Structure 1
Amino acid sequence: MIESRPGDAFQPGELLNNTYRIEALLGRGGTSDVYKARSEISGRLMALKVLKSEFTGNDDYLVLLTREEEIRDIRHEAVVRYSECSRTPTGQVYLMMDYVEGPGLDQRLKEGPMSADDLMTVCRRVAGGLQAAHKRNIVHRDLSPDNIILRNGDPAQAVIIDFGIAKDTNPGAETIVGNEFAGKYAYAAPEQLNGQTDARSDIYALGALLLANFRGAPPNIGKNPMEVVQRKSLPLDTEGVPEPLKTLIDRMTEPNPDNRLASAADVLAFLDNPRAAGADDDFDDDRTVISLAPRKPETEVPAPQSSVPPKPQPQPAAAPVAQEPQRKSRTPLLAGVAVVLLAAAGAGGYFSGAFDTVLGPALPVAEPYTLLIAKPEGGAPSALGNVPSEAMQKQLGDLITGQSGEADLTLASGEIADSWADDVMQTVDQIDELPEWRLSIRGNRAQVTGSTPDEDQQKRIMAAIGSDLPGALEGGAKIDFVPVFLAAAQVDRTLSEFADCGPLAQPKAPATGYGPGVPVTITGKVAETATRVRLFDALRAQAGDRDVVIDVDVLNPTLCLIESHLPNAPASDIDISFIVGDRNEANPSGRFFVGENPVIDVDLPADVTDGFLSVSILDVSGNVFHLLPNLNRQDNAVADLRDGRTGPVKVRVAFDLKESAQNGGLAFRVDDSTLGKSKVIVLHSSKPLFDGMRPTSESASGYAEALQKFAQSNDASILSLDSKILVTAKP
């Protein structure tokens, strides 16, 4: 299990919704964390996917989580069962699902190859789950080994989890969501790179992960976007995979989705009768197909295979010909033979190039018609894809190679505008001055992305092509202004706008500013979750590709008022512990629900033997309750509280209801009138804090003024200040 941190949404031992006891943190993600919890009513284990606080105010992430919740309507043993999507009173959004005990296929992948029989079993099980999801028009889009769990390690009990795609802005993240792509590169179908996803994309991903687990190694997809695009257009290498698994994977991972097994039902049909589907050692899917393909031009550069299977070359005259289906036409046989001879003569002239002077060289058809041109920062540009003419092939090739780059351009025809070549080159001319850019084209649709440290340059290019690319190209540009160094002073100006609970700090700010890739870390306190979200958004816009870490405590306006008046005293080893009084059960999270009885102990270390202890609780309503001293318990001298005991000592300051009835001490029961965060403050001083006794309850502002007045003349007498948050919420 993963070690918990103080800033986590939930802590082990915490009770959620008055039903689910948090047992452990299972994993951390870019946007959410997953916890293991147990129902105290049924004993059933559950998994909780909790959206991180900085994303709870972002509708995009809430939509993604809600979309994942839609899976709860699917009832299939191979699909994890979701039960609810809820928000806690403190704003935490969580999704609850069944907990599946067992290794993931990613773990099995690390352990080495799996047998073909086990993988066929996994395939049948997962295909059944996908079939149930696809019937409801739900596509997983991110199927990979880490999203399939083998319950109890049994391939026959494989379970699909994590139907939600989450956006991850961290540099190098494998999973991307946007207009272009959703899924993991290693297992994503080729069409997903262009933003096209349907049920066939899940079929491809399932086939790819089956192959990976058979090999015991993930697919090699290349080291940069150009290699990814090129390799995704090629069939996966299934050499050495035994039948019928080999043919199954080949059929599931056809680069062209139109040639792929079209549905989970087709996969199951293959598994039911592989031989009928052609899975035998002698099977050749193209053995009865004879086709005449046009000759490639002499100047054509060899290209990677596209998602369209290559057309077979003309067969020798002696090759067997498939039987022609009966035609409806009643044309005499002799006329038919004449037509065939005429067609053959035409084909011969075509393939010999005799008609090229009249018709021009024939170009193969590319579908889809794609071109990717990119220039990484500090690196050489590259171009890969289709172009419609030798003139453009030379012009673009010279531009790329002139900058020490590589161009792999294939002459092809396709569904593009007549001005396509000129429009593309005009676009390249406008963005080539950028230090980093990328132009992705599919047909007439194009998208430009890039960045520059020159703000004037960014504004000029965005004004020219931001919303309208040249000519017939459809699309726009997104050019980011990213300074080489982000000055700490610039971040400070942003922090000052959001500092609603004391100053916010940059503990790791470099003296020269944040360089490329250096994370921006913020600490401090804010008054509400909304402030934290807005702060994150503002810094995200400033930081460019740098990580933004918001490590702040979210309090409330009352606590923030007190924070601004608290004396500047160091923390100590004095601790505060919470207990659920009704059950005499430790509650390390400090979260209590309506109807529960919070019990509070102050834990004195062995070396705290003198002075005075002042304990107060500041609640969300703006009131302060003095737990020690108060009118009913005026003696707060440490020596008297120890009562002759040595070593570590617990001093109870808020009692169980039964204890309170016997000794008159303060006790609380949570009601729904003051829910939220309260703060328990322990001040250790060398003399009493105030000249007289404070009332048991008073306003936060009155207490803050009294504290400030005392600290002005008695600052040295305050030895330490320790605190802990107590949260009250509805179940």
Structure 2
Amino acid sequence: MAAAIPPRFEKSEAVPSCRPGGIPPEFSSSCLGRRAMWRKECRIGNYALERVIGYGELGIVYRARSRKSGETVAVKVLRPHLGGNAGAEELFLRGPIIASQIRHEHVVGVREMGTAGGRLYYVMEFVGGRPLQHALHQNGMPMAARLRLLADVARGVHHLHGRGVVHNDLKPSNILMTADGVPKITDFESATLRAPQGHRDARMGEGFLCGTPPYMAPESLRGAKAAFDPRRDVYALGVIAYRMVTGVLPYVAPDLIALMRMKEMEPPPMALWNVQVEARLESTIRRALMPVPAERWGSAMEFAKAVEGYLKSAKLEDASAFTSAHSIKKHRLLSLARLRQTIDRAACL
């Protein structure tokens, strides 16, 4: 059954066909970039759509401008072919309905929801930066800065848990960075809620998978039936942390079955990818990645405080550059090349 739209989400005018031939705006990377080609301004409700900034299986995200206040916002619109699909509409609305009840500096805020021309949409704050995954590819980001980001994200996740929400799909692409470097968690379509006693969220049923496999806890991959358990998000934080520190995922497998088997074991030593990792930091991250939930950090806040404690004791300097797996691999290849040159010279003597 499709989720009902709360009364405050009023219907608005239909979405216009913005280009000659009736081509909808989602097929253009810039909704208003070529004004000569548009018959009228692309808009949905009280928002003028400017350009596409992201997309997923269910919807397309636009940078938009409020026609009332002039404020820049992000608007996610349900894909046209999914209109009238009760299951897709319920899933599309699930995220914003959950997020609209949460107010935190590290969570993307949802402003409103509505319908236009039979298509659902919702309005979010415009973050303006890029996903965390882009920052992970920047070798110049200092280790201290990476760990501070990690602790901030963990604090945001802890706030979600306190509000009875397990995200279930934490990953770098679902963490947006503001222009000032503040991380914000988004995309709650896979979230599960703490159900009243005697009830169970349908998404916690046996065999129901929520999330992205490389970041999912072993019990989640198995489709195990479980009560509300924030430690699944703690595991995802551990995977994100491992990747932030080493530049690679802790587990890479050709298929889901192989990945499930690998996750039953502890991950490879982080020093294989980053020789700068200290034992205390590695033990902090590895505890979040323990296959057995009871052996992980008890909460995201515990994990955040452990990371912050390491930052204080290690006294890392912001100027200290991060060495990624790519740069280490390059260094190893260079060392092997020099070794071969030495052997060749010795053979010529």
Which one of the candidate residues 131, 136, 146 is aligned to 2:173? 146
Residues 1:72 and 2:100 are matched in the alignment? yes
Which one of the candidate residues 60, 77, 81 is aligned to 1:33? 60
Which one of the candidate residues 212, 216, 231 is aligned to 1:200? 231
Partner of 1:260: 296
Which one of the candidate residues 134, 159, 162 is aligned to 2:187? 162
Query: Could you say if the C-alpha distance between residues 65 and 31 of structure 1 is closer, same or farther in structure 2, counting changes exceeding 3 Å?
Result: closer
Give the Å deviation of 1:56. Answer: 2.7
Structure 1 distance, partners of 2:132, 2:140, is 11
Give the Å deviation of 1:9. Answer: 5.3
Structure 1 distance, partners of 2:288, 2:71, is 37
Which one of the candidate residues 216, 237, 248 is aligned to 1:217? 248
Q: CA contact under 8 A between 1:79 and 1:129: conserved in structure 2?
A: yes
Which one of the candidate residues 93, 98, 107 is aligned to 2:120? 93
Query: Could you say if the C-alpha distance between residues 275 and 38 of structure 1 is closer, same or farther in structure 2, counting changes exceeding 3 Å?
Result: closer
SS at match of 1:152: coil
Query: Could you say if the C-alpha distance between residues 103 and 180 of structure 1 is closer, same or farther in structure 2, counting changes exceeding 3 Å?
Result: same
Q: CA contact under 8 A between 1:126 and 1:159: conserved in structure 2?
A: yes
Q: CA contact under 8 A between 2:106 and 2:152: conserved in structure 1?
A: yes
Q: Deviations over 1:142-189 (max 9, x none)?
A: 1111011121162xx1111111139xxxxxxxxxx9933111111111
Give the Å deviation of 1:203. Answer: 1.1
SS at match of 1:127: helix
Which one of the candidate residues 27, 35, 50 is aligned to 1:23? 50
Query: Could you say if the C-alpha distance between residues 270 and 93 of structure 1 is closer, same or farther in structure 2, counting changes exceeding 3 Å?
Result: same
Give the Å deviation of 1:257. Answer: 0.9
Give the Å deviation of 1:247. Answer: 2.2
Residues 1:135 and 2:144 are matched in the alignment? no
Query: Could you say if the C-alpha distance between residues 112 and 269 of structure 1 is closer, same or farther in structure 2, counting changes exceeding 3 Å?
Result: closer
Residues 1:249 and 2:285 are matched in the alignment? yes
Structure 2 distance, partners of 1:120, 1:132, is 19
Structure 2 distance, partners of 1:107, 1:9, is 24
Structure 2 distance, partners of 1:75, 1:244, is 33
Give the Å deviation of 1:136. Answer: 1.6
Residues 1:229 and 2:260 are matched in the alignment? yes
Q: CA contact under 8 A between 1:23 and 1:38: conserved in structure 2?
A: yes
Structure 2 distance, partners of 1:84, 1:139, is 22
Q: Deviations over 1:494-526 (max 9, x none)?
A: xxxxxxxxxxxxxxxxxxxxxxxxxxxxxxxxx
Structure 1 distance, partners of 2:54, 2:307, is 35
Partner of 2:73: 46
Give the Å deviation of 1:214. Answer: 2.0
Partner of 2:215: 187
Query: Could you say if the C-alpha distance between residues 270 and 181 of structure 1 is closer, same or farther in structure 2, counting changes exceeding 3 Å?
Result: same
- Work out which of the two has the higher radius of gyration on C-alpha atoms and give 1 or 2: 1
SS at match of 1:87: strand
TM-score, scaled relative to structure 1: 0.33
Give the Å deviation of 1:207. Answer: 1.5
Structure 2 distance, partners of 1:33, 1:275, is 38
Q: CA contact under 8 A between 2:151 and 2:305: conserved in structure 1?
A: no
Question: Which residue type is aligned with residue 52 of structure 2?
Answer: L
Partner of 1:108: 135
Q: Deviations over 1:658-683 (max 9, x none)?
A: xxxxxxxxxxxxxxxxxxxxxxxxxx
Q: Deviations over 1:275-317 (max 9, x none)?
A: 99x99xxxxxxxxxxxxxxxxxxxxxxxxxxxxxxxxxxxxxx
Question: Which residue type is aligned with residue 231 of structure 1?
Answer: M
Q: Which runs of 5 or more structure 2 residues have no equivalent in the other structure?
A: 1-18, 33-40, 192-204, 272-276, 315-349
SS at match of 1:230: helix
SS at match of 1:110: coil
Q: Deviations over 1:565-589 (max 9, x none)?
A: xxxxxxxxxxxxxxxxxxxxxxxxx
Structure 2 distance, partners of 1:221, 1:113, is 25
Task: Report percent identity of matched pairs.
Answer: 30
1:232-381 alignment to 2 at 5 Å?
Answer: 232-240=263-271, 241-274=277-310
SS at match of 1:183: coil
Q: Deviations over 1:41-90 (max 9, x none)?
A: 322211111111232322222222332122112111000001122111x1
Larger relative helix fraction: 2
Q: Deviations over 1:200-244 (max 9, x none)?
A: 111111111121122223444210223111111122224322354
Q: Which runs of 5 or more structure 1 residues have no equivalent in the other structure?
A: 167-176, 280-731
Structure 2 distance, partners of 1:15, 1:273, is 48
Structure 2 distance, partners of 1:113, 1:237, is 24
Give the Å deviation of 1:194. Answer: 2.0
Structure 2 distance, partners of 1:216, 1:112, is 9
Structure 2 distance, partners of 1:231, 1:113, is 31
Query: Could you say if the C-alpha distance between residues 124 and 165 of structure 1 is closer, same or farther in structure 2, counting changes exceeding 3 Å?
Result: same
Q: Deviations over 1:587-635 (max 9, x none)?
A: xxxxxxxxxxxxxxxxxxxxxxxxxxxxxxxxxxxxxxxxxxxxxxxxx
Q: CA contact under 8 A between 1:114 and 1:214: conserved in structure 2?
A: no
Q: CA contact under 8 A between 2:213 and 2:256: conserved in structure 1?
A: no
Structure 1 distance, partners of 2:67, 2:190, is 31
Q: CA contact under 8 A between 1:113 and 1:215: conserved in structure 2?
A: no
SS at match of 1:102: coil
Partner of 1:303: none
Structure 1 distance, partners of 2:232, 2:285, is 13
Q: CA contact under 8 A between 2:144 and 2:311: conserved in structure 1?
A: no
Give the Å deviation of 1:112. Answer: 4.0
- Bigger relative contact order, structure 1 or 2 (CA pairs below 8 A, ≥6 apart): 2
SS at match of 2:155: helix
TM-score, scaled relative to structure 2: 0.68
Partner of 1:317: none
Q: CA contact under 8 A between 1:112 and 1:215: conserved in structure 2?
A: no
SS at match of 1:95: strand
SS at match of 2:302: helix
Question: Which residue type is aligned with residue 6 of structure 1?
Answer: I
Question: Aligned residue pairs: how many?
Answer: 261
Q: Deviations over 1:18-37 (max 9, x none)?
A: x3111101123222111110
